[in-house]
Amino acid sequence: MSLSPHAVEEIKELPTRFPAQSRSAVMPALDIAQEELGYLTPELIKEVAGLLDLDSGYVEGVATFYSLFHHKPVGKHRFYMCTNLSCSLRGAEDLVKHALDQVDVSTTDEVSPDGLFSVEEVECLGACEFAPMMRLDHKFEYDLTTEKLDALIAARRDSQPKKKKASHG
């Protein structure tokens, strides 16, 4: 998988936003690259490095420092669930277990069998008055309960195009 022509164009334009000779374009460029698959592969990192005229080891160093860059496949919908203190005082840990169960994975490293979901425990997301909370599809979800999680999961399953059932002769 390599970058789409559109992504290449976008990345090439980034450096003009920053002072000359700076490396500041590297993170926005990695964002664009990550959009392609949902995670970064060594090939994508190399391509970004080439476009920005940077060493690919350097770009990999940046990409592996920050937790919003992923290096393994992720679900189409990713649960970023806060389990820091304000949320765990209000039951976040049980909610993580519930979410893992409901999307049918056993750890936060897996993607659900249907490819739709993955669950990640994250650090404080800065919406503590709404604890327990999480970020899902670029949106914050507040006052989580098991019922609310079930509804969010069901809505995403329902919006999937239905697959034809395999016929058995």
Partner 1 sequence: MAELRGDFGPGPDRVLTEHFGKDGLDTLAGYQKVGGYEGWKKALTTMTPSEVIDEVRTSGLRGRGGAGFPTATKWSFIPKEPGTKYIVCNADESEPGTSKDRYLLENSPHALVEGIAIACYAIGAHQGWIYIRGEYDLQYQMLQRAIDEARKAKLIGPSPFGSKYAVDIQLYRGHGAYICGEETALLESLEGKRAQPRSRPPFPAIKGAWGRPTALNNVETLITVSWILAHGGAAYAKFGTEKSKGTRLFSVSGNVQRPGVYEMEFGRPFRELIEGKAGGALPGRKLKAFWPGGSSAPVLPADMLDTPTDLESLAAAGSMGGSGGVIVMDDSHCMVKAAARLLQFYAHESCGKCTPCRVGGNWAVRTYARILSGQGSDVDLGLLDRVQAGLQGGRCLCGLGDAAGWVIESSMNRFRQEYEEHALHNNCSVEQGALAHA
Query: 138, 162, 163, 165: which one contacts partner 1 (CB under 8 A)?
Result: 138
**Angle at CA of residue 45, ends 15 and 10, nearest 5°:** 35
Kindly determine how many residues on this chain lie close enough to bind partner 1 according to the rule CB under 8 A: 42
User: Which of 84, 80, 42, 36 minimizes the C-alpha distance to 64?
Assistant: 42
| Contact status: 39 vs partner 1 (CB under 8 A) | no
Q: Note whether 51 and 29 are within 8 A (CB).
A: yes
| Contact status: 130 vs partner 1 (CB under 8 A) | yes
Work out whether strand 117-122 and strand 77-82 pair parallel, antiparallel, or are unpaired.
parallel
| Contact status: 140 vs partner 1 (CB under 8 A) | yes
Query: 45, 48, 86, 99: which one contacts partner 1 (CB under 8 A)?
Result: 86
Query: 129, 161, 163, 169: which one contacts partner 1 (CB under 8 A)?
Result: 129
Q: Kindly list the strands in the beta sheet with 139-141, ordered across the sheet, starting from the edge strand earlier in the chain.
A: 117-122, 77-82, 134-136, 139-141
Q: Note whether 83 and 92 are within 8 A (CB).
A: yes
**Interface residues for partner 1 in 46-85 (CB under 8 A)?**
61-62, 65-69, 80, 83-85
CA atoms within 13 A on the CB side of 66: 14
**Interface residues for partner 1 in 92-121 (CB under 8 A)?**
none
| Contact status: 37 vs partner 1 (CB under 8 A) | no
Query: 5, 19, 161, 169: which one contacts partner 1 (CB under 8 A)?
Result: 19
Site residues for partner 1 per CB under 8 A: 17-19, 22-28, 30-31, 61-62, 65-69, 80, 83-86, 88-90, 122-131, 135, 138-140, 142
